[in-house]
């Protein structure tokens, strides 16, 4: 039985991400793919509200917002796993038990969009439950749980700009400057990350050795110039996404013709991330995209932003 002295309810907001560079290595002995990536957290947020529940009720999950009908509300949801791992690590429950908590997920990041929406949910759930239950686990302990949940969860905890190595969970801060103005074009058709990896493994490609991020992008980020950063955007999954959904190529070409600083498929896709040279260009390009013949939703955002944080009224 849980014995806790916390507060009745906590809401935490965590950001989605875009990969400014994503280089994928060959699968290792465990079938996992090492990565060299540069993350940027962006102001498209997920929110998780954790509420005290009666003893013995277990974990209840509700979901609202974008793609809510496509999100499971059982133990397969990553927020269930996050709350359970946290409670066990803090010894609030026995190793074979689950805690008592109501979790509400409010989604704004598309499911299967390559922007780490699920990872943001997990990061938000970890911070929310840590606060709700008064467990006071330190950041290092939370990071360890985050890495067990998924490669992007640790980054969503911290936000900002970071280099990810290993499977993406080994983070190093990036020396960078400036604010970046993005447009995200969401697709109604998700792309499975697992399927994207399997397709990538069938293709002949050159994998840099050692696997690392390119110094050209690091230099561009230090300048804070979106034109220089836009010229360095790279993603090993991009061609797969373009082949799967040809409209993506049309959108990226349109952005280039309208003087975007750069465009890239986010993660394994299919979300397109367009980097504008300025706030003014962002507004003009958004209007042009909405006035075009694409029939898509366009969301404006900025980056980098902070990671998972408690929302105070």
> For residue range 166-224, what is the model confidence (pLDDT) as tens digits?
888 889 989 899 999 999 999 888 888 888 889 998 998 888 888 899 999 999 999 99
Tell me the average pLDDT across 222-244: 94
pLDDT of residue 258: 93
Fold held by 9-26+33-173? Ribosomal Protein S5; domain 2 (3.30.230)
Residue 5 has pLDDT above 60, yes or no: no
Nearest to 50 by CA among 167, 140, 128: 128
- Separation CA 288–CA 94 (nearest Å): 56
- The tens digit of pLDDT for each residue in 248-298 reads 999 999 999 999 999 999 988 889 999 999 999 999 999 999 988 877 889
Tell me the average pLDDT across 109-132: 94
Residue 84 has pLDDT above 90, yes or no: yes
Q: What percent of the chain has pLDDT over 70?
A: 98
Catalytic residue numbers read 17, 152
Instruction: Determine the distance from the C-alpha atom of residue 239 to the mean position of all C-alpha atoms in its chain, rounded to a whole number.
Output: 20
Residue span(s) of the chain under CATH 3.30.230.10 come to 9-26+33-173
If pLDDT is split at 50, 70 and 90, which confidence band does 128 have? very high
pLDDT of residue 28: 86
Whole-model pTM: value is 0.93
Residue 133 has pLDDT above 60, yes or no: yes
Q: What percent of the chain has pLDDT over 90?
A: 74
pLDDT of residue 30: 85
Beta carbons of 57 and 99 less than 8 angstroms apart: no
Poorest-pLDDT segment among 32-41, 51-60, 164-173? 164-173
Q: Which superfamily is assigned to 180-303 in CATH? A: GHMP kinase, C-terminal domain (3.30.70.890)
Residue span(s) of the chain under CATH 3.30.70.890 come to 180-303
- Separation CA 162–CA 7 (nearest Å): 33
Higher pLDDT, residue 274 or 34: 274
- The tens digit of pLDDT for each residue in 139-150 reads 999 999 999 998
Poorest-pLDDT segment among 26-35, 88-97, 136-145, 298-307? 26-35
Residues 6+ apart with CB under 8 A from 290: 298
**168 phi-psi bin (left φ>0, alpha ψ -120 to 50, beta other):** left
The answer to whether the Cα torsion of 205, 206, 212, 217 is positive or negative is: negative
pLDDT of residue 2: 54
pLDDT of residue 27: 84
What is the helix (H) or strand (E) element at residue 47, kind and residue range? strand 35-52
pLDDT of residue 4: 58
Nearest to 271 by CA among 293, 309, 308, 301: 301
pLDDT of residue 216: 96
């Amino acid at each position: 039985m849980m014995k806790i002295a916390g507060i009745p309810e906590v809401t935490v907001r965590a950001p989605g991400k875009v990969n400014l560079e994503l280089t994928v290595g060959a699968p290792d002995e465990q079938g996992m793919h090492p990565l060299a990536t540069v993350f940027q957290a962006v102001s498209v947020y997920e929110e998780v509200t954790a509420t005290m529940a009666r003893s013995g009720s277990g974990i209840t999950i509700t979901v609202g917002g974008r793609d809510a009908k496509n999100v499971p509300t059982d133990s397969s949801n990553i927020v269930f796993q996050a709350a359970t791992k946290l409670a066990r690590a803090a010894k609030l429950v026995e190793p074979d038990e689950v805690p008592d908590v109501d979790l509400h997920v409010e989604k704004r990041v598309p499911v299967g969009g390559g922007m780490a929406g699920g990872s943001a949910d997990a990061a938000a759930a970890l911070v929310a439950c840590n606060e709700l239950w008064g467990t006071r686990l330190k950041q290092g302990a939370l990071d360890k749980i985050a890495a067990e949940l998924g490669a992007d969860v640790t980054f969503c905890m911290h936000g900002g700009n970071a280099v990810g190595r290993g499977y993406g969970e080994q983070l190093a801060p990036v020396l960078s400057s400036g604010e970046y103005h993005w447009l995200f074009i969401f697709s109604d058709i998700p792309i499975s990350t697992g399927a994207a990896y399997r397709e990538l493994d069938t293709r002949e490609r050159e994998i840099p050795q050692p696997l690392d991020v390119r110094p050209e992008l690091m230099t561009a980020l230090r300048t804070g110039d979106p034109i220089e950063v836009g010229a360095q955007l790279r993603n090993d999954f991009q061609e797969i996404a373009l082949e799967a959904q040809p409209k993506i190529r049309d959108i990226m070409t349109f952005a280039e013709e309208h003087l975007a600083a750069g465009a890239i498929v986010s993660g394994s896709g299919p979300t397109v991330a367009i980097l504008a040279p300025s706030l003014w260009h962002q507004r003009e390009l958004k209007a042009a995209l909405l006035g075009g013949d694409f029939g898509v939703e366009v969301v404006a955002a900025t980056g980098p932003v902070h990671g998972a944080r408690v929302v105070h009224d």
